[in-house]
């Protein structure tokens, strides 16, 4: 009787847990598709590459070469590195991908923790937005970093990058525009402040170039050293 009760309890626990796991996987897939959809844009792909490299402490060109070898989009690359962090071997995953399995089948074989992957994917998307903002705020600096990192956008592309729906692409576009608008407004504010600082410095220099001595009752300088040449310096 006790064995039956324990077996029944295990069965009930499985019935409760399996839908929860499926729900976490579905939610994680949506977050991962956001990553892949953002990478459909050239700048978006550049930023996604940078963010994944930072997240998993890998070199940016290595991610590009890996994608060209496995054909994985960036959402799937994220799952791959989550599995590796949980103990899976990179070579085994690559072999299974080349054998025709998709990353979700492989994750199932490794009993992936979809709740953890979901939480980490949300953090990744937040970091992507931060890096996108920084990239768009100062493109010259961002391009210089790409060059220093050895990242080549023209090599960073696989067929699987297109594995997102039109709706997901539209959402990625809206997301991109929101970040772009904030970055451009911040850049405009910075330029306005820079101009104001320059004007203030001009006025300060102009004032300091005038007579410095105290005036007598009748006005004008009352002796002392001759003032330096006027005009802004």
Would you state the pLDDT for residue 193? 57
Estimate the share of the chain in helix, then strand, then coil, as percent rounded to the nearest 5: 75, 0, 25
- The Cα 119–Cα 129 span in angstroms is 16
Cα distance between the two ends of the chain: 97
Residues 6+ apart with CB under 8 A from 233: 205, 209
Domain ranges of the chain: 2-190
Please state, in angstroms and rounded to a whole number, the distance separating the CA atoms of residues 49 and 132.
Answer: 11
Beta bridge partners of 215: 221
Positive or negative, the CA dihedral 52, 54, 55, 56 is positive
Mean pLDDT by 10 residues, the chain (233 residues): 50 48 90 97 97 98 97 98 96 96 96 97 98 95 97 97 95 96 88 56 42 39 36 36
C-alpha of 213 from chain center = 58
- What is the reported pLDDT for 187? 82
Q: Which two tokens stand for residue 132?
A: 């996108």
| Residues 6+ positions from 232 with CB-CB distance below 8 Å | 202, 205, 206, 209
């Amino acid at each position: 009787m006790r064995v039956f009760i324990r077996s029944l309890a295990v069965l009930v626990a499985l019935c409760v847990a399996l839908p929860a796991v499926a729900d976490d996987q579905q939610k994680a897939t949506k977050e991962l598709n956001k990553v892949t959809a953002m990478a459909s844009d050239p700048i978006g792909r550049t930023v996604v590459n940078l963010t994944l490299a930072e997240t998993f402490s890998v070199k940016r060109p290595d991610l590009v070469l890996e994608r060209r070898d496995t054909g994985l989009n960036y959402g799937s690359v994220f799952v791959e590195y989550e599995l590796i962090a949980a103990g899976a071997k990179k070579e085994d995953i690559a072999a299974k991908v080349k054998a025709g399995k998709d990353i979700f089948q492989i994750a199932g074989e490794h009993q992936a923790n979809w709740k953890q992957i979901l939480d980490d994917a949300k953090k990744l998307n937040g970091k992507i937005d931060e890096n996108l903002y920084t990239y768009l705020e100062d493109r010259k600096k961002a391009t210089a970093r790409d060059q220093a990192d050895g990242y080549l956008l023209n090599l960073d592309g696989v067929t699987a990058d297109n594995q997102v729906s039109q709706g997901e692409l539209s959402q990625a576009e809206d997301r991109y525009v929101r970040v772009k608008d904030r970055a451009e407004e911040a850049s405009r504010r910075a330029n306005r402040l820079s101009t104001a600082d320059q004007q203030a410095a001009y006025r300060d220099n102009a004032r300091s170039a005038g007579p410095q001595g105290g005036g007598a009752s009748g006005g004008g300088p009352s002796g002392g050293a001759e003032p330096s040449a006027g005009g802004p310096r």
